[in-house]
Amino acid sequence: MIYVVMLLSSKIPRCIYNMSTLDVEDAIGQLTLDEKVKLISGGDFWHTASIPEANIPAIRFSDGPNGVRGTRFFNGVSSAAFPCGTALGATWNTDLLMDAGRTMGEEAKAKGVHVILGPTVNMQRSPLGGRAFESFSEDPVLSGMSASSIIQGIQSTGVLATIKHFVCNDQEDERNALNVIVSQRALREIYLKPFQVAIKDAHPACVMTSYNKVNGQHASENKYLIEDILRGEWGWKGLIVSDWYGVYSTSESVNAGVDIEMPGPIGFRGELVNRAIVARTIHQHILDERVRGVLRLVNKATQSGVLENAPEHTRDLPETRAQLRKIAGESIVLLKNDDQILPFKRNRTIAVMGPNAKVARLSGGGSASLFPYYSITPLEGILAKVSISDVKYMPGVRGFDILPTMGSTTKSPSGEIGVLWRTYLKPHDAEDRKPIDEIHLQDANVFLADYNHPAIKDISTWYAELIGIFTPEESGEYEFGVIVYGTAKLYVDDIMVVDNETVQTQGEAFFGCGTVQETGRIFLECGRAYEIKVQFGNSSTCKLRSLTVTVPGGGLRVGFSKAIDDEEAILNAVEVAKCVDQVVLCVGLSGDIESEGFDRKDMKLPGNTNKFISAILHANSNTAVIVQSGSSVEMPWAKCAKSILQAWYGGNETGNAIADVLFGDVNPSGKLPISFPLRLQDNPAYLNYKAEGGRILYGEDIYIGYRYYEYTEREVLFPFGHGLCLSNMDVYVDEITGSLRTSVKLSHIKGPAGAEVELKAFKKLFIEPGMSETITFELDLKEATSFFDEITNSWVSEKGTYAILVGTSSIDDHFLRDTFEIKHSVWWKGL
């Protein structure tokens, strides 16, 4: 397997409508003022407004970046869970990502969705970014080209894509108020660049504005970004949609170019726009331009064939499963493999250990999360390939801050795996109350933003019970935890174990509305069935006042686990590790640690995970450490580990993909799309990440990620990119046609077939053992040699001598090098 990086020096009820194309200008002339205002205000949480009298249907949006959820957070229809954004970036395979986009489009159709709210192309400035897992890379070109492929795939199905978040939404800390202070050069070369690449190559139908301010002005009010750059310089003509609750004004957002505020209908538009028209703070022609954007979207969306208010259903197909497994496998990065201990042997004894072994880490948290068709844990993937008699399982230390969600190990009173949900109009101590609703749920992570029932339509306060039956396989002390947006108490056989009602503490869950996790412990006997019951009051009963946007209904998360003594767990695991031939150690982060709504506090693995890993490596050197995370983590034990795999969040097929790589059925061809620093303090954004007084200075300027590590010659744990050997490079420049052509001969000397990628104009090829390939890359000469000149406010390709470096990663002692000349400087704007 060989990897090439090119680095260039920088001198419901369904309404039946006639789905024919609207005459946009005629419609604008016929619509009343109230109808126009309705169109730019959003219809509900997921739909644009419909105007039946004008034959204008509602268009449905849906998250998201790693799969299409549909319209429901609560008890939604199951979906295909794709690997997270960083994993997709790690494939470096544009053809594969285009295929993934096509499948996302078909998934959207199954959910009655016209517009997918993705992909995400914000930059991974720091490993601490709560939503870093949604983004592709720390490099703007890789991000832009990855996004282009996914967008083209999505839109080839007729479904529309939304590239987001425009721009500099690279952290969660105070994201709604944060003022990002960034130089024009960094803004253009780093943060706007992936949008520019994708808009030039893929023409996404929608762009979503970010929550934050950019140089003093909220993105949704920033005419310079929206009108001057996006629509002016780049000539883009699609729809601008706000992030959900990301509009903070009426006239300013309309005049700046935001076509539609979401969600609707109540927000900063509606009647307020009418007042602004009267006051002439919004002029009629500006309102018409916003309406024009919405109507153009309606025309594009209806061509998908998706009907208005279409029912949601699943499409769990064998070909989708195979594709998800392929993507997940190609995303896995082999960070180390000393002594070639991988692939593991199927006929040798093996121990599977660690807090991530028996749980499928599908995704990070927040709006990217969804209810999957199914999930495969690493342990399940391994057991599918080897004899169960040869496998020993040890959970190891506590590898979580939030207790694992109740559901997979409990049953409802009727015997189904999961839990039972009952809704009531009266409080828990009312003697005559009866449930108005009963729902079977797969787990006890319940976000009620979109829960509705006819009986609670006009009721501000209502209640619920969550019930699960648990039969322990081991006697011992068990720990229970409750997080709530509302109020909750947890009982085990009528003994109160957790009280998250009497006293509540503000936490970060449920987009900042929920409490911290309150916990309690109780001894349970092996083999005895226990009823776990949670009494819940909806959001109106909450004693806290969130400073973030509040959502209706509330939320509840119930988790539990056998109490773990980490010291004892380590000793037990070490004894097992000593008596097997091979060890698979599954560790990492989760959607409770990497999530929308908050940033990570550090780069460390949770709890005593590092101590656990070191002990196992000392006990058995034939250990493969599997790390799952959406961004980089510290690995103080890395020098002691012979084999390390970075497996990201792998979607439905997480466990199968990991097992495929472990046993050599798939040659890991993933390459790091981000740098792994040795420690957090080495990251270029370390001193400029958290908000200070409502602002953040992008002080590293253009030196984000590998650019900084190269320039400062700072050591990293693992550099941006990986690979084997390469040879023979030729460069040809044609200034008349404006092309730069580079040819590299690649040789795969031994081992299983591998894959080849390169940056700037990267491709991925599979090369059989003993074979060679020559790849020719043709770049836009002007684009490839330009930087943004703040004095002239334009791009410039300066005359002079340029070097092309080709290597196996961003830090390579054996770069191939060639040079070429630019004889005349060229200044330019646009795409």
From the DSSP assignment, how many helices (H) and strands (E) are in the chain? 19, 38
Residue 522 lies in a domain: yes
Q: Which residues are designated catalytic?
A: 243
* pLDDT tens-digit readout, 661-687: 999 999 888 999 999 999 999 999 999
Q: Which domain holds residue 466?
A: 413-562
Whole-number pLDDT of residue 165: 98
Mean pLDDT computed over 416-429: 95
Q: Where are the beta strands (DSSP E) in 75-170?
A: 115-117, 160-166
Our CA angle for 320, 323, 329, nearest 5°, is: 140
Residue 653 structure tokens:
């097929």
Nearest to 66 by CA among 109, 115, 120, 110: 120
Of the three residues 517, 544, 562, the one that is the final residue of a domain is: 562
> What's the rounded mean pLDDT across residues 271-292?
97
In this structure, is residue 480 part of a structural domain?
A: yes
- Closest by alpha carbon to 627, among 356, 398, 362? 356
- Please give the residue that has the higher pLDDT: either 408 or 411: 411
Tell me the torsion sign for CA atoms 569, 571, 572, 574. Answer: positive
pLDDT tens for each residue of 114-137: 999 999 999 999 999 999 999 999
Q: How many domains does the chain have?
A: 2
Through-space distance between the first and last CA atoms of the chain, rounded to whole angstroms: 35
| Token pair listed for 658 | 């990991």
Query: Are the CB atoms for 627 and 594 separated by under 8 Å?
Result: no
Structure tokens at 563: 């109490």
- What band does 814 get if pLDDT is binned at 50, 70 and 90? low
* The two structure tokens encoding residue 66: 């790693």
d(C-alpha 632, C-alpha 405), whole Å: 25
Query: In one letter, which amino acid is 251?
Result: S
| CATH value at residue 824 | 2.60.40.10
Dihedral over Cα of 802, 804, 809, 814: its sign: negative
Q: Is the pTM of this model over 0.85?
A: yes
Per-residue DSSP letters for 34-45? HHHHHHTT-SSS
pLDDT over threshold 70, residue 749: no
Proportion of the chain in helix, strand, coil states, percent, rounded to 5: 25, 25, 50
> What secondary structure, in 3-state letters, does 220-235 show?
HHCHHHHHHHHHHHCC
pLDDT at 2 over 50: no
- Band (pLDDT 50/70/90 cuts) for residue 512 is confident
Query: Could you give the CA distance from residue 653 to residue 378 in angstroms, rounded to a whole number?
Result: 9
Q: What pLDDT does 698 receive?
A: 98
According to the model, what pLDDT value does residue 549 have?
Answer: 62
DSSP H or E stretch at residue 400 = none
Residue 687 is assigned to a structural domain of this protein: no
pLDDT for residue 147: 98
Structural domain includes residue 121:
no
Phi/psi at 558 (nearest 5 deg)? -120, 130
Residue 14: pLDDT above 50? no
Out of 500, 528, 562, pick the residue that ends a domain.
562
> 257: phi > 0 → left, psi -120 to 50 → alpha, else beta; which?
left
Q: Taking the CB of residue 286, how many other CB atoms lie within 10 A of it?
A: 17
> Is pLDDT above 70 for 208?
yes
251 is a domain residue? no
129 in Cβ contact with 631 (< 8 Å):
yes
Beta-sheet pairing, 800-807 with 772-780:
unpaired
Quick one: pLDDT band at residue 107, thresholds 50, 70, 90?
very high
CA-nearest of 635, 710, 713, 734 to 680 is 635
Per DSSP (E only), the strands in 248-385 are 333-337, 350-353
Here the CATH number for the domain that contains residue 518 is: 2.60.120.260
Task: Kindly list the strands in the beta sheet with 115-117, ordered across the sheet, starting from the edge strand earlier in the chain.
Answer: 61-63, 115-117, 160-166, 206-209, 239-241
The alpha carbon of residue 469 and the mean position of all alpha carbons in its chain are separated, in whole angstroms, by: 33
Is position 264 within any domain? Answer: no
AA letter at 357: A
| pLDDT 10s digits, 301-359 | 999 999 999 999 999 999 999 999 999 999 999 999 999 999 999 999 999 999 999 99
d(CA 519, CA 151): 44
Instruction: Summarize the confidence of residues 74-90 as an average pLDDT.
Output: 95
625-647 pLDDT, tens digit per residue, is 999 999 999 999 999 999 999 99
* Mean pLDDT, rounded, of the chain: 91
* Element of type H or E holding 202: helix 193-202
Q: How far apart are CA 361 and CA 587, in angstroms?
A: 10
Q: Give the residue from 513, 545, 562 where a domain finishes.
A: 562
Residues 636 and 627: beta-carbon distance below 8 Å: no
Query: Is there a contact between 445 and 372 (Cβ–Cβ < 8 Å)?
Result: no
Which has the closest alpha carbon to 596: 472, 512, 477? 512
CA distance 639 to 641: 6
Q: What pLDDT is recorded for position 759?
A: 57
Is 816 within a domain? yes
In the numeric block, the tokens 């944060």 are attached to 178
The confidence score (pLDDT) of residue 809 equals: 64
Whether 792 is in a domain gets the answer yes
pLDDT of residue 449: 86
Kindly tell me if the per-residue pLDDT of 241 is higher than 60.
yes
| Alpha carbon distances (Å) from 615 to 341, 359, 487, 612, 760 | 19, 22, 42, 5, 42
As a whole number of angstroms, the distance between CA 724 and CA 746 comes to 10
